[in-house]
Amino acid sequence: MDAIDHILKQWARERPDLDTGPMGLIGRLTRLRAHLSREMEKTFSRFGLNSASFDLLATLYRSGEPYALQPGMLAQTMLITSGTMTNRIDQLVKTGLVERRRSEEDRRSVAICLTEAGKALISEAVEAHVATQHTLVAGLSEKDRDQLTALLGTYLAMFEADQA
């Protein structure tokens, strides 16, 4: 019995005409994400980061040498606006974890690069983050975990075709 069960019961009483099947799915997904995010933020804050700054550093890190990507490309893969991206970069530049390098070929363009400090920090933070994620799924059986991952993949693919 979770909070969504309670909500669906209320709807059934007040508005029995509504088919709340989809709400059961989407509601649980939304609420689960809130719980998971809250826990993961704790790990990030141990490294002086939040999910936004962690995500940016991690994206640069996993892109491999030379650990440099453009703001526009980053914003697109992170599903955020360009203004938000500028702000995120500003914060990380202030703390010395990334730096901006203007491009020579296209002078509109900028490369965001991990500094040595940034690389060292994110390398550690990622390990802690992966450990946290392990504990967060530990309550599920391996079978449930695999099934859930597969179903979420099927669903997500409907919103994100061809992002290979």
Partner DNA sequence: CGAATTTATCTTGACGTCAAGATTTATATA
Partner DNA sequence: TATATAAATCTTGACGTCAAGATAAATTCG
Which of DNA, a second copy, none lies near 47, with the C-beta cut-off 5 to 8 A by kind? none
Residue of 1, 42, 106, 108 interacting with a second copy (CB under 8 A): 1
Interface segment toward a second copy; rule CB under 8 A; list 30-38, 82-90, 92-100, 108-116: 30-38
Q: Does 91 bind DNA (CB under 7 A)?
A: yes
Residue of 21, 83, 139, 153 interacting with DNA (CB under 7 A): 83
- List Cα–Cα distances, 22 to 25, 89, 155, in angstroms: 5, 38, 13
Cα angle, residue 37 at apex, residues 34 and 43 outer, rounded to 5°: 155
Q: Does 20 bind a second copy (CB under 8 A)?
A: yes
**DSSP secondary-structure letter at 19?**
-
Residue of 37, 45, 50, 109 interacting with a second copy (CB under 8 A): 37
Q: Are 68 and 101 in contact (CB under 8 A)?
A: yes
**How far apart (Å, rounded) are the C-alpha atoms in residues 13 and 10?**
5
